A and B are shown apart, each in its own frame.
Chain A
């Protein structure tokens, strides 16, 4: 078979800079590398020596799309090291802030980044002429999510109101109540969006993944829970390092995470849904059933429906939290410094985000480790791509490229986070 090279120099509609390389030898896929070339950002190193109370503001800068995830994992981990518990109203406000981030991040990915793949458009701008109503819905949802971030976080990108022990300022009940009409409208928009994406044509693709997500006794997971999987994993977050391992691979500036015992795994909306369907509440469960989505779904292309369902959930949860809100007596609890080790996992829109800190007695950070969801999904993305590329090897090169890019976008990869864009190269020999 003649050798040929297919190349995409820049993968668009993902956050950050990266490339995909496919080696094809004798008509078969020989090697798949999700290569991340965005320069390493050394956040873990620059945290060393800083005060632990600075962690939420420094780590929020890792990502402009999911800064709340970084703030939440960092405050929980530092509070874990300090032996600090926050009162229920502060816990509720954190959950509400996280709902805002899920709404804006998922809405952006569904409508502007991923939907064009399913409808045969090169980008959302081209898609907007034919599907303007849905693009407008997505933008309205994003605006509502941003409004939550602005009120609770002080501003919509890189919020500044989160601190170890709580918030600098807690909102008034009236300020929150003012968001209710928009959130009610957003819920309906999200349902319409979910019905729209559920009508897409999905590739016939299934794999037997190990799904990993947080699981909480009562709630769909956001800020806390045990780490569970569909293959029997059920551990406290403190066992993360004993169970998972980060490996350096030569073709990527991002570390790749694996389960020490079993290798690659999948985190994110599909994992959360499969492991926590019973925590979604009756109305969201009914919507999932209407859309033909049941726990045990193993088709990563259908994650776009799960994202839409999670937007519905986040709107409902936000409305519930606002209805139940009683302002805390103080917006934060004091966090006196002490030596210790603290860990936390929270559910970023793209999956579990792990933070580990070792603190000095004066409150300074001795060491920090951050494992973002995209690092954890990298191995799984490469394995998906091997199957997609093998299946589609005989298709015209532009179609093969499109299918590979679509498969990557199933994971909404945030390459900026994991290194902290994407080029596709296919080498045929």
Chain B
């Protein structure tokens, strides 16, 4: 059965701060939020449309291009309107996340609620760990994602 809510961390585990979405997703998964499925995605973002099919509430977590402050967390309501291009949610291929969200909107395949947490990155070096400022944002981002589902972000004892 499809969970009513889904968190998808997006990134490449081997490209420095690009992995931040995966780290946040793992932290959210560890909270064991009831009725919230947590997945990780990399590579083909067009496939996200299939992953969220039939799920009314979806939260995406992805690394964003460095702007001013590495580790800064942006909350973007993708259901309300197009994602801002200055966040530059680019892809090395022809279709990135912002394009995928817009295509889904035109096709009527957008979840009723779609929130994107975009975390400003600093470094995408191959094989590198998260940079300190971005690593420091993981816990806070996970708490904010959990709060989307009414959780205080603490692991339940149940």
Contacts and interface: CB of A to CB of B under 8 A. Distances in A.
Interface of A: 12-15, 64-65, 108, 112-113, 123-126, 128-129, 132, 135-136, 139, 142-143, 146, 155-158, 416
A381 to B, nearest CB: 18
B103 A125 contact: yes
Contact of A15 (B42, B49, B93): B93
A408 to B, nearest CB: 13
5 contacts: A13-B94, A112-B95, A125-B102, A128-B106, A132-B107
Contact of A135 (B44, B92, B103): B103
Contact of A139 (B42, B46, B94, B99): B46
Given A128-B106, A129-B106, A139-B49, A64 B94 contact: no
Given A64-B93, A112-B94, A128-B103, 19 more contacts: A12-B94, A14-B94, A64-B92, A65-B93, A108-B46, A123-B99, A125-B102, A126-B106, A128-B107, A132-B108, A135-B103, A136-B107, A143-B47, A143-B50, A146-B44, A146-B47, A155-B43, A157-B42, A158-B43
Contacts of A14: 94
Contacts of B44: 146, 156-157
B94 A15 contact: yes
Contacts of A158: 43
Contacts of A135: 103, 106-107
B94 A108 contact: yes
A113 B49 contact: no
Contacts of A146: 44, 47
Contact of B106 (A12, A64, A125, A143): A125
Q: What 6 A-B pairs come out closest when comparing CB atoms?
A: A128-B106, A157-B43, A125-B102, A129-B106, A132-B107, A125-B103
A51 to B, nearest CB: 20
A64 B43 contact: yes
B106 A132 contact: yes
A364 B71 CA distance: 43
Nearest to A125: B102
B50 A113 contact: no
Contacts of B42: 157
Contacts of B108: 132
The CB with the most chain B CB atoms within 10 A, among A14, A125, A132, A136, is that of A125
A24 to B, nearest CB: 29
B105 to A, nearest CB: 8
Nearest to B43: A157
Interface string B106-132: 111000000000000000000000000
With most chain A CB atoms within 10 A of its CB, the pick from B94, B106, B108 is: B94
Interface string B65-96: 00000000000000000000000000011110
A12 B99 CA distance: 13
Contacts of B46: 108, 139, 142
A125 B93 CA distance: 16
Nearest to A112: B95
Nearest to A13: B94
Nearest to A63: B93
A125 B49 CA distance: 14
Nearest to A104: B44
B129 to A, nearest CB: 21
B94 A113 contact: yes
A135 B92 CA distance: 21
Contacts of A129: 106
A416 B93 CA distance: 9
B43 A124 contact: no
Nearest to B99: A125
Most buried by B among A12, A139, A158: A139
Contacts of A12: 94
A375 B49 CA distance: 34
